Copies of this chain bind each other. A is one copy, B any other.
Amino acid sequence: MFSHDDIWNGIDRLASAHDLSTSGLAKKAGLDPTTFNKSKRQTPEGKPRWPSTESLSKILSVTGATLTELTELIESNGKKPSKNVDKTPFSITSFSFKDIVKKPGFDPSHAKHSPVDISLEHVFDFEDFSQAMVLCVLLDTDEFEPTFKKNSKLVCRLKENFVNSGRVLAKTSDGRILIGEISSVSKETLELKCLTGKNPSRRIEAGDISWIADIIWTSQP
């Protein structure tokens, strides 16, 4: 998943990042200074020529750079600088279950962002989470045992449509918070099965749902 241009660009930028010309880098690595010449990057007939991994290994030893660093240069070829800074793990907003049950108007999209209590501790899907709206609920009740034990954390991803997808967290327009498993969906209604089996299934009008979120990760307390 890297091109001929990517790798030569990576070598050029590795040199320049260490205040060297490309030929200076080659020389310093004990290679022939012409090894990385532009004229050695394709044959006289125009066929691409590729450096060997031994050369890469040598220029890394001599610059002290890691393969990861060179890889970043290679993979960011042609991309804007800001694109490579995505590495920092990020935070996620956490709420207590009892708290959100108490507030009839609770909406995670507009909730105050208070990520501190979970940001360092957990695990989440990176690609999806950067796009999607994700929240974490600390389940401070035992009413969903044994499926979800008290003090579990539920990582939930909001969704727009009511596809049959498994366990969800939802809020109805009259302010109730529901946790259950979708057992069937039709155009206007959705049937939510009780997780514990203690209560009967609920049938809910689609229009009565303020928001709904898949429970995508569950922690054990």
Question: Could you tell me which A residues sit within 8 Å of B by CB distance?
Answer: 1-4, 7, 48, 50-54, 56-57, 60-61, 64-68, 71, 74-75, 87, 89-90, 120-129, 146-147, 149, 155, 166-167, 195, 214-221
Excluding A121-B126, A218-B220, 14 further A-B contacts by CB distance (< 8 Å) are A2-B67, A50-B52, A52-B52, A89-B89, A120-B125, A120-B127, A121-B125, A122-B126, A122-B217, A123-B123, A123-B126, A147-B147, A217-B220, A218-B218
Q: Which of B52, B120, B214, B221 contacts A166 (CB 8 A)?
A: B221
Task: Decide: B126 and A89 in contact? CB cutoff 8 A.
Answer: yes
Task: Decide: B149 and A166 in contact? CB cutoff 8 A.
Answer: yes
Q: Which of B66, B87, B195, B219 contacts A217 (CB 8 A)?
A: B219
Task: Decide: B53 and A220 in contact? CB cutoff 8 A.
Answer: no
A sample of 9 cross-chain residue pairs with beta-carbon separation below 8 angstroms, ordered by A number, consists of A67-B74, A67-B75, A68-B68, A120-B125, A121-B125, A121-B126, A121-B127, A214-B220, A217-B220
CB neighbours (8 Å) of A53 from chain B are: 7, 50-53, 56
Q: Please give me the residue from chain B that is nearest to A63 by CB atom.
A: B1
Most buried by B among A53, A75, A90, A166: A53
Task: Decide: A57 and B123 in contact? CB cutoff 8 A.
Answer: no
Q: Given A7-B53, A216-B219, A220-B215: A87 and B68 within 8 A (CB)?
A: yes
Q: Please give me the residue from chain B that is nearest to A61 by CB atom.
A: B1
Task: Decide: A124 and B127 in contact? CB cutoff 8 A.
Answer: no
- The 3 closest A-B CB pairs, nearest first, are A50-B54, A123-B126, A1-B60
CA distance A134 to B60 in the complex (A): 31
CB neighbours (8 Å) of A120 from chain B are: 125-127
Q: Which of B61, B74, B125, B217 contacts A218 (CB 8 A)?
A: B217
Q: Given A53-B51, A215-B220, A220-B166: A123 and B124 within 8 A (CB)?
A: yes
